[in-house]
Structure 1
């Protein structure tokens, strides 16, 4: 009999991020800088991607081991055809309580309603600036932020919950912090500020470009007084606050200045079936081969449990300028957020 992983480890497995596509509509400087990933970049062939049936089967085994939350990511997950069909399948899995999707929102005007009807509960939208020049500098493309804002409006109209994620990079888009906070407060949208992290090898990270949670909190408090909120669950990564004059929340994800490795409950599954136990991993474990080699459900659960049980990830706690430069890490575009 398979022992419940939650009984063995202080960091339970309860949150699964599944990348279903390895390419974005536009590439942000955070994960896919244009000077590295040009228009001729070769992406994964379709046969190397996990099929929807394989994703659902894997998710069933994760759920049996305690996973309650699934978020679909990319690249841009909405570039994958028939995503509502996958969401409907995931919705049927016993134990899954929350299904979300991370997107750049460009395709939401057409897809928000079918996604909601299939059972999607919310979307996390990446938006790093409202000013078009800053937005384009962060994205590395000529896309307008209005395309993202239209997608957000479509999601709200369809009934989806919306969280806006803003990666803040000093000297690039930090002057957009107050305008973004004001916009989200006026629209009733929960906003998450994310410290600029050294994910992958190509985003040009150094510590001098990090705007800390402390500084961000001080800036946002200029709009209206904030009050701290209790964590919703063990392993929640955002420190959450609420404006005292409204129900709108602001969160801060501080992987650099206030690390949370000790309470991390997230596993990540890449589009080609590699299992990662940390966002800053150097390599993953090949779940796709286990599935395609004919493993039973029990064997898949035992394999997942074995990988998770051996995890000793503490990268954010141990990070130094030197390790950030020298350690080879997977790209955000491959593993998702």
Structure 2
């Protein structure tokens, strides 16, 4: 099985567990291939955690979950030095925290105070953790998938801009269509039947083992994605999109009123990485403007600082990005 077939199998397997969220599943796979961290936002019950668990179940990876709460400490995430008394004497040994996994689910990340959230910064950016002056490397395959509830404010702490910028994409999950919700009901009902004990001793129906994709397929896919051709006009188009967020009034009077703070160079890098992953999944060996436009909302929505005027008018980041894409000339 080629790495392309393996990744397609991974996406299909996750899709069997998640109904009506194909765009979200595609973003999870893009984040995995682009070697980035994702912030997933949606109302309770929209399968945020389920989607991440399904990805971990079908990938050869160590999975870890942290339920963020206001009383969490940084050492609860990173781990700490633990005192040991043995034959060799008294020593301190590093005990790794849940951060040391391949896929880390940071559930309701905005419920933890800034000190705990900042404990993730070094891990997300440099793939290492420093405790008591000693650096500990994280696995080669490492990905933070953080979730948050957009409407609940009590007991939450807004994520610092520096941490938001380290998320490759911010993915939004919306309600499924009615037909899809019917399929969700049937899916969960079938899962309930599957876990029921057999009626008789001889009546056993073992569940099918999930398809598990090796980590090597992900690394092979990343090498192919790194070799994708990106023409100079496409590079300039990505840079122009990000630069337009910093000088919006030059493009459009409305954008000048709506955007108060533009995106950092990390946005340009994210457009390139996610765009190439999107093109590879579509079977192309080159980056096309439609790939950049497809990932632009997820890459930019958490990196734009909207003005009070925009917030007062009810203008959303996605509406701003839509206007931005319409205003910047295609290559």
Q: Specify the TM-score bucket, using the shorter chain as the normaliser.
A: under 0.3
Compute the TM-score of the two structures, normalised by the length of structure 2. Answer: 0.27
Compute the TM-score of the two structures, normalised by the length of structure 1. Answer: 0.26
The structure with more radius of gyration: 2
